[in-house]
Amino acid sequence: MSILSRESPSRGPASPRVVGVYEPVTGSIQYICICEATKQAALIDVVLNFDAAAARTSTEHGLWMLDFLDREGLELTWILDTHPHADHLMAAAWLKEQTGAPMGIGEKVHDIAALWRDLYNLPDAFDPGADFDRLWADGDTFSLGELDARVILSPGHTLGSVTYVIGDAIFAHDTFMQPDAGTARCDFPGGSARDLYGSLMTILSHPDDTRIFIGHDYGTDDRDDPEWESTVGEQRASNKHLGDGTSEEEYIRTREARDATLGLPTQMLHALQVNLRGGRLPDAEADGRAYLKIPVNRF
């Protein structure tokens, strides 16, 4: 398969090289974040490919990522996710099996798991403390080679989403879209337009030239080609949901009205029960196969 990728070069010693990789079925963007000085790299929000009609997983994008790391002589030091995604399966567990690198996600995944245990009627399911190697708290810091990295709790799309700020790059997941598309939806269980507004304002508090890399792009009426990079200054000046000094209450009305028109993502009910296991399928049953559980008439 042909895979679309684009590079955003490092701007200097405190700036990573970022490779964005587009997954067209779900409009997701996955990232390789690279410290040029040490050749250490993190993978962020990598997709486990999924054919929902056949309930079949595959690893085209994960293999592309690992091949890129090999070609470039990069050392994978982190497998990071920003939240348990509702629209695609995550490849974190598969990537760890291939590389041994640790997996990280926000610590409030515990609260998200509690919501979905009820929704799936699986009271004993999901143990994020066992399935992830690091559960990040708001304000936690770590290093990627010589780059300083910081974790920001960014609720709204989910109650436990986190943003990674690595050097001058913000991995903003489902908060901002591109300026011409606005912002992400927040109508899933645990979501909140008010919380999302606060998360957006926190991201906009960074310097204007800080790069923002988003989680999804679906194009617009005027743009077919996917895009995923902007800056804080560009978002502040021209984001269609936040421009012209949009107030918090105005934003909430706009966001909630838009969300009321949206259907569930095609993979959502498949994805959460996998992603809350770090990307692992449910345990195999007596026939050696894994089965997904889909709640009927719950949404």
Q: What sign has the CA pseudo-torsion 106, 111, 112, 114?
A: positive
In this prediction, residues 227-233 reach a mean pLDDT of: 97
Query: What average pLDDT does this structure show over 85-107?
Result: 98
The share of the chain scoring above pLDDT 70, in percent, equals 100
* pLDDT at residue 95, as a whole number: 98
Relative to beta strand 17-23, strand 134-136 is unpaired
- Tell me the backbone φ, ψ of residue 86, rounded to 5 degrees: -95, -10
Check residue 244 and give its pLDDT: 75
Domain assignments of the chain as residue spans, ordered by start: 5-264
Q: Residues 205-232, buried b or exposed e (16+ Cβ, 10 A)? A: ebeeebbbbbbbbeeeeeeeebbbbbbb
Return the closest-CA partner of residue 282 out of 52, 143, 94, 126: 126
**Rounded CA gap, 50 and 267, in Å?**
8
In terms of Cβ atoms closer than 10 Å to its own Cβ (0-12, 13-18, 19+), residue 93 is buried
- What pTM does this model have? 0.97
Cβ atoms within 10 A of the Cβ of 292, count? Answer: 13
Tell me, what's the pLDDT at 284? 96
Architecture (CATH level 2) of domain 5-264: 4-Layer Sandwich (3.60)
- 89 token code pair: 């399966």
Secondary structure E strands in 181-269: 211-214, 229-231
pLDDT range class, residue 1, cuts 50, 70, 90: low
What mean pLDDT is reported for the chain? Answer: 97
Query: Confidence class of residue 245 from pLDDT cuts 50, 70 and 90?
Result: confident
